[in-house]
Amino acid sequence: MKRNVPLAIVFVLGVFFVVQFFIPSHPSQVAYNTMLEWDMALLVFATVIALDSLIRHHTQKIMRRQGQWGYSAVYLSAALLMALAGFIGGTTDTSFYMKLFQYAMSPMQTSMFAILAFYMASAAYRAFRARTAEATLLLISAFIVMLGLIPLGATIWGGMPRLSEWLMQVPNMASKRGITFGIGLGAVATSLKIILGIERNWLGGA
Amino acid sequence: MMKFLSKLNRMDRRIVFLLVTVVILIPLLLNIQSRLYVDKATHDLFNRIDAIQPGGQPILISFDYDPQVAPELDPMAVAVLRHCFAKGIKVIGMGLQPQGDAIGEAIISRISKEYNKKSGTDYCYFGYRPGGYIVMLYIGENVKKALPQDYYGVSYDSLPMMKGIHNYDDIPLVLSLAGSTWPNTWIMFAGTRYKASIADGCTAVMAPEYYPFLQTGQLVGQMAGMKGAAEYEQLIVDAGYTKSKDIASKAMSAISYSHILIILLIVMGNIGYFVTRRMENK
């Protein structure tokens, strides 16, 4: 029961909506719209479950004094503060919630991401060596793309931005397209396996 | 001499960090700006928005990003909003990323004040809409169901701008500003199923991901990273919509100099590497 009912629901709905996409009739459209509403309702339940799981996980960590439980305490306090600020004072551009967002949360996240620039510069300096013919080719391509992105590239040679664009739009895109096709076919195969009940990992331990 | 050159191979990383700090700070402090080569994808996006009739159908801007990528994507939102408001194009704002909610509100309310635009008549901001692709599909069927009330709690029916907006047929362009793969989802669900015109503004590192979709026409335009934002700023200045360029053009100079520094560091590292190898072979 625990396995067969979910498998049957997935099979029936999976097949139905594959077929529905190709039948633009009124009843099929009504069924589609109804399912959208169901989807939205399911999403609300999923959000409640996610919140419950998150709070439970961190609360247990704090109560059991597990390793780095302090971070959990900071996390829960910050989440509670933001939620209360939003519920009590509103979320308009002059509210306390927005001040917290703009002057605390946003700069912290932005700073974490900005540190990447330093590590990327250091990593490029250490790792980019013309050890082999392939590495040299990669190095030359990287120089052209970097120079093509900045005004100095066009000053050195007027065709640099176009050459850089060509590198990105032709050789780079050829490989990207191959990868995209691979991902697409993989997604179709996995979806079919789930619909037909061959792939059952999503059932968890059931 | 050879010993000095071989040292270039193992420069202390703190020196690299210091050099990066200097080349980023100086152009920002001195406000150095230079003219950019405008990418075709940015031009296409500008032309697509510029072709929309003032006071006619609205474009939809989706703030699908978090604060960590805001320095790259905020300038794009600002430049596009300035273009729209200066030309009298109406804007629907929303977001699929929880933290994009506050980002969108801060930007839209700031730029709308610059142009004396009113919520409900010149623009509507709906904030974060949970559900991802479900929201996209809903908009295709019935915008009112997907966006029942705006960010400030005003119901859909009380928003004069939204009268006559039923689905993607009434929205000439969807612009997804994202630091992740949201534009892909817009293409799959809004573009493929409802034939909506999709454009994106993404971080520089994500841009190559979308080139195939630009070539096929599934994306009608793109702003790629800080450069894309700076290009858009340049385009709206050239077209006379604003008088001066903004933060992206200043930041682009810092990025330009840091690119030059990285190229020099790589060259120095390689000189050091080859000299060391030669010395070891001897």
Q: Which of A111, A132, A149 should be substituted to probe chain B, the one whose Cβ sees the most B Cβ atoms within 10 Å?
A: A149
Tell me which residue range forms the domain holding A26: 1-66
- Other beta carbons within 10 Å of B205: 14
pLDDT, mean of residues A161-169: 89
B104, pLDDT greater than 90: yes
Give contacts of B138 with chain A, Cβ < 8 Å. Answer: 36, 40
A205, pLDDT greater than 70: no
Name the percent of chain A lying above pLDDT 70: 99
Whether A22 and A60 share a structural domain: yes
pLDDT, mean of residues B221-240: 94
A206, pLDDT greater than 60: no
B257, pLDDT greater than 60: yes
The answer to whether residue A84 is domain-embedded is yes
Whether A62 and A117 share a structural domain: no
**What integer pLDDT is reported at residue B12 of this predicted model?**
87
pLDDT, mean of residues A154-162: 86
pLDDT, mean of residues B13-17: 91
- Other beta carbons within 10 Å of A174: 10
Q: Are strands B222-224 and B174-178 parallel, antiparallel or unpaired?
A: unpaired
Tell me: the pLDDT tens digits for A25-57?
A: 888 888 888 888 888 888 888 889 999 999 999
Q: Which residue has the higher pLDDT, B182 or A176?
A: B182
- Measured between CB atoms, which of B20, B67, B68 is closest to A118? B20
pLDDT, mean of residues A141-157: 87
Whether A109 and A135 share a structural domain: no
The answer to whether domain B40-245 has CATH 1.25.40 is no
Tell me: the pLDDT tens digits for A88-108?
A: 988 887 889 989 988 998 899
B16, pLDDT greater than 80: yes
**What integer pLDDT is reported at residue A151 of this predicted model?**
81
Q: Evaluate whether B134 touches A43 at the Cβ level (below 8 Å).
A: yes
CB contact under 8 A, A149 and B227: yes
**What integer pLDDT is reported at residue A34 of this predicted model?**
87
pLDDT, mean of residues A157-182: 89
- Measured between CB atoms, which of B134, B138, B269 is closest to A125? B269
pLDDT, mean of residues A135-141: 91
Q: Which residue has the tokens 């994202």?
A: B178
Give contacts of B131 with chain A, Cβ < 8 Å. Answer: 39-40, 43
Name the percent of chain B lying above pLDDT 90: 68
Question: Nearest-CA neighbor of A114 among B96, B208, B255, B104?
Answer: B255
Q: Tell me what the pLDDT averaged over chain B comes to.
A: 91
- Measured between CB atoms, which of A43, A92, A151 is closest to B131? A43
The answer to whether residue A204 is domain-embedded is no
How close does chain B come to A84, measured CA to CA in Å?
A: 15
**What integer pLDDT is reported at residue B72 of this predicted model?**
93
- Measured between CB atoms, which of A39, A118, A152 is closest to B260? A152
- Measured between CB atoms, which of B99, B211, B227 is closest to A173? B211
Do the interacting molecules here have an ipTM over 0.90?
no
Whether A25 and A78 share a structural domain: no
Q: What is the DSSP string of chain B?
A: -HHHHHHGGG--HHHHHHHHHHHHHHHHHHT-----PPPHHHHHHHHHHHTSPTTSSPEEEEEE--GGGHHHHHHHHHHHHHHHHHHT--EEEEESSTTHHHHHHHHHHHHHHHTT--BTTTEEEEEE-TTTHHHHHHHHH-HHHHS-B-TTS-BGGG-GGGTT--SGGG-S-EEEEESSSHHHHIIIIIIIHH---EEEEE-TTTHHHHHHHHHHTSS--EEEHHHHHHHHHHHHHHTTSSSS--HHHHHHHHHHHHHHHHHHHHHHHHHHHHHHHHHHH-
Give contacts of A46 with chain B, Cβ < 8 Å. Answer: none
Q: Which residue has the tokens 């992740």?
A: B180
CB contact under 8 A, B262 and A124: yes
B45, pLDDT greater than 70: yes
Whether A22 and A81 share a structural domain: no
B80, pLDDT greater than 70: yes
Q: Tell me what the pLDDT averaged over chain A comes to.
A: 89
- Band (B6; pLDDT cuts 50, 70, 90): confident
**What integer pLDDT is reported at residue A4 of this predicted model?**
87
Domain ranges of chain B: 2-30+256-281, 40-245
The answer to whether residue A206 is domain-embedded is no
Q: How many CB pairs under 8 A join A and B?
A: 142
The answer to whether residue A190 is domain-embedded is yes
Tell me: the pLDDT tens digits for B141-193?
A: 999 989 999 999 999 999 999 999 999 999 999 999 999 889 999 999 999 98
pLDDT, mean of residues A121-125: 90
Whole-structure pTM value: 0.86
- Chain A residue with Cα closest to B34: A151
Q: CA angle at residue A26 from A21 to A29, to 5 degrees?
A: 40
Q: Which of B96, B134, B215, B258 should be substituted to probe chain A, the one whose Cβ sees the most A Cβ atoms within 10 Å?
A: B134
Structural domain count, chain A = 3
Q: Which residue has the higher pLDDT, B54 or B7?
A: B54
Whether A95 and A107 share a structural domain: yes
How close does chain B come to A131, measured CA to CA in Å?
A: 9
Q: Which of B12, B43, B189, B266 should be substituted to probe chain A, the one whose Cβ sees the most A Cβ atoms within 10 Å?
A: B266
The answer to whether residue A202 is domain-embedded is no
Whether A101 and A136 share a structural domain: no
B35, pLDDT greater than 70: yes
**What integer pLDDT is reported at residue B70 of this predicted model?**
93
- Chain B residue with Cα closest to A30: B141
Tell me: the pLDDT tens digits for B125-143?
A: 999 998 888 899 999 999 9
**What integer pLDDT is reported at residue B135 of this predicted model?**
92
- Band (A77; pLDDT cuts 50, 70, 90): very high
CB contact under 8 A, A36 and B69: no
